[in-house]
Amino acid sequence: MNAVGFLMLVAGWFLVLAAIVLFASPPLRTAFVLAGIAVETLGLILVFRSHLIPREEKR
Amino acid sequence: MPATRLSDVSTVACIFFIFLVPLAAAGLTLMNVGLGRSRSAGHMMMASLCSLAVAALAYFACGFAWQGFIGSTAHVFNVSGKSWNWIAAEPLFFRKLTFDGSTASLAALFQIFCVGIAALIPLGSGADRWRLRAICLSTALLAALTYPLFAHWVWGGGWLAQLGVNYGIGRGFLDVGGAGSIQALGGLTALGITWILGPRRGKYSADGMAPAIPGHNAVLVLFGCALALVGWIGLNSAGAILFTGGEPSGSALIAINTMLAASISALTGALITKVRFGKPDASLTANGWVGGLVASSASCAFIRPIEAVVIGAVAGAVIIFSVELFELRMEVDDPGGSISVHAVGGIWGILALGMFGQFERPVLNVAGDSVPAAMNAITSNQWLAQLIGVATLLGFVLPLTYGVNRLLNRFTPYRVSVEGERQGMDLHELGAGAYPEFVTHTDEFLPR
């Protein structure tokens, strides 16, 4: 889950970069940047969840 | 392109403001010490000093060469006819710099302090369990790799700063005093390191409780806040002159905005904790104060005082709830609140510039002879440029800093042994406590 989360963070950033380069129209570019941020948010949630401490390891 | 040499007045003002910046580092150090346990106080102070030293040396060795300054030689690649400036190509060891008051020499002086501040931020999160050797190695990585790369993109005329010129996205990513390049970068590094270190022993128990482990000296924490204010005024004012082409006359507005944002943010923190817990909490109020300073950093030169109040108030509220969210829900043990204050506060500051920024003068953050007319318009897509900067922090800086620190952790374990944690970092790593005459609380040494 940790690795997938980080991959999603990077993937979201690449979406943002692609939006800058590929789309000249502001609405389309904005939509893709927001989509990239959404992917990053999902990745961040996954990374946070992967770092929750298992109950048996809490001391 | 900003002049390679500022006017005499700007140079003197800039040097004066830069000399205030180390006070921000002193303030953060005192806060980190006060918010940690008494048995690790000396270690934290020592780690802070070592961190500043390692950061300065690493930045001198190769950091500045890769960061550069606006208009410096850089590696560029072309995508669809647009140039993407991604890393500076200056010689190592400041070899091409002439220390004659040139913009480049002032930028180097400013940055050697800024990189130290960025390096201090993760110390607050790793307090009470992060080994000194690992701190030094991690700091070297930050100062030589992560910081210069992102700071080049923002302050060295890199691709983020070029978003306006190349793609008409606002004036490009703007960050006057380092809310992104210093604070958010340091805060995200702190998050990665906290994940690697794990929580302090006894922080999360099997019954689901997360008992508070309070800091040991509120006086140090609050005095650190006062020092940080002076340092931040220097940070924001010098940044405005060096990286946005501002005049020294704009410093009054910058100082007022910085002060107002910190004030309302601290009061918001005090009020929220008073309402929720019955009494205002000193450490959270201090976090609110610094959070306000952090949030003001990106936009202080481009907003009116009333907007600084709004930005500070939001920062205060967001940071208080964020501390609770990280500690209780996300199980991120961050003794100094660095992640909330610097990462969350910094990201809010960056976005706030996009929401509130007003540009009544040209912003000179890229190399070039003239600023396109479109960039002088009052309304623009500045918020989109700021959002792209945030996406870069989350999608590039966080994975990079986590990855390199995790790799380093395999060779030099970051976390102190169980026995060392029980004993305290002072005794375990330094061989002597910070307060040898104090009575030792036996319960702190009992196995948990």
Q: pLDDT tens digits, residue range B211-223?
A: 888 999 999 999 9
User: Which CATH number do you get for residue B385?
Assistant: 1.10.3430.10
Checking if the pLDDT of B62 tops 60, the result is yes
The segment with the largest mean pLDDT, out of B75-84, B160-169, B390-399, is: B390-399
Can you give the pLDDT at residue B339? 97
Q: In this structure, is residue B193 part of a structural domain? A: yes
Contact between B99 and B105 under an 8 Å Cβ cutoff? The reply is yes
Smallest Cβ distance to B398: which of A9, A37, A58?
A9
- Mean pLDDT over the full length of chain A: 93
Can you give the pLDDT at residue B1? 43
Q: In this structure, is residue B251 part of a structural domain? A: yes
- Mean pLDDT over the full length of chain B: 92
Task: In whole angstroms, give the CA distance from residue B304 to residue B309.
Answer: 9
Share of residues in chain B with pLDDT > 70 (%): 94
Chain B, nearest residue to A46 by Cα: B330
B53 in reach of chain A (CB within 8 A): no
Lowest mean pLDDT among B105-114, B158-167, B202-211: B202-211
Q: Which of residues B267 and B100 earns the better pLDDT score?
A: B267
Can you give the pLDDT at residue B177? 95
The number of domains in chain B is 1
**Pairs across A and B, CB distance < 8 A:** 74
Task: In whole angstroms, give the CA distance from residue B200 to residue B387.
Answer: 34
Domain range for A15 is 2-53
Chain B, nearest residue to A51 by Cα: B195
B4 in reach of chain A (CB within 8 A): no
Can you give the pLDDT at residue B369? 46
The number of domains in chain A is 1
Q: What is the mean pLDDT of residues B207-236?
A: 92
Chain-chain contact of B206 with A59 (C-beta, under 8 angstroms): yes
Q: In this structure, is residue A19 part of a structural domain? A: yes
DSSP state of A27: H
Can you give the pLDDT at residue B371? 55
Checking if the pLDDT of B121 tops 90, the result is yes
Q: What is the mean pLDDT of residues B364-371?
A: 68
Distance from CA of B330 to the nearest CA of A (A): 6
Chain A, nearest residue to B448 by Cα: A59
Can you give the pLDDT at residue B372? 55
Q: What is the mean pLDDT of residues B273-289?
A: 96
Domain range for B210 is 8-445
A23 in reach of chain B (CB within 8 A): no
Residue B403 is encoded by which pair of tokens? 């990855």
Q: In this structure, is residue B245 part of a structural domain? A: yes
Q: In this structure, is residue A40 part of a structural domain? A: yes
Chain-chain contact of A44 with B394 (C-beta, under 8 angstroms): yes
Task: In whole angstroms, give the CA distance from residue B275 to residue B51.
Answer: 38
Q: What is the mean pLDDT of residues B61-74?
A: 94
Reduced 3-state DSSP string for chain B: CCCCECCHHHHHHHHHHHHHHHHHHHHHHHHHHHHCCHHHHHHHHHHHHHHHHHHHHHHHHHHHHHHCCCCCCEEEEEECCEEEEEEECCCCCCCCCCCCCEHHHHHHHHHHHHHHHHHHHHHHHCCCCECHHHHHHHHHHHHHHHHHHHHHHHHCCCCCCCHHHHHCCECECCCCCCHHHHHHHHHHHHHHHHHHHCCCCCCCCCCCCCCCCCCCCHHHHHHHHHHHHHHHHHHHHHHHHHHHCCCHHHHHHHHHHHHHHHHHHHHHHHHHHHHHHCCCCHHHHHHHHHHHHHHHHCCCCCCCHHHHHHHHHHHHHHHHHHHHHHHHHCCCCCCCCHHHHHHHHHHHHHHHHHHHCCCCCCCCCCCCCCCCHHHHCCCCCHHHHHHHHHHHHHHHHHHHHHHHHHHHHHHCCCECCHHHHHHCHHHHHHCCCCCCCCCCCHHHHCCC
For the entire predicted model, the pTM comes to 0.95
Q: In this structure, is residue B2 part of a structural domain? A: no
Around A24, how many Cα atoms within 13 Å sit in the side-chain half-sphere?
A: 3
Q: What is the mean pLDDT of residues B410-428?
A: 94
Q: In this structure, is residue A59 part of a structural domain? A: no
Around B318, how many Cα atoms within 13 Å sit in the side-chain half-sphere?
A: 23
Q: In this structure, is residue B1 part of a structural domain? A: no
Amino acid at B430: L
- Structure-token match 């030094």, residue found: B136
Can you give the pLDDT at residue B443? 55
Burial class (CB in 10 A: 0-12, 13-18, 19+), B293: buried
Task: In whole angstroms, give the CA distance from residue B345 to residue A43.
Answer: 20
Checking if the pLDDT of A57 tops 80, the result is no
Three-class secondary structure of residue A48 per DSSP: helix
Checking if the pLDDT of B47 tops 80, the result is yes
Report the number of secondary-structure helices (H) and strands (E) in chain A. 2, 0
Q: What is the pLDDT of residues B10-24, one digit of tens each?
A: 999 999 999 999 999
Can you give the pLDDT at residue B359? 87
Q: What is the mean pLDDT of residues B112-139?
A: 97
Q: In this structure, is residue B3 part of a structural domain? A: no
Q: In this structure, is residue A33 part of a structural domain? A: yes
pLDDT band at B448 (very low <50, low <70, confident <90, very high): low
Can you give the pLDDT at residue B127? 94
Residue B188 is encoded by which pair of tokens? 């995200």
Q: What is the mean pLDDT of residues B271-285?
A: 96
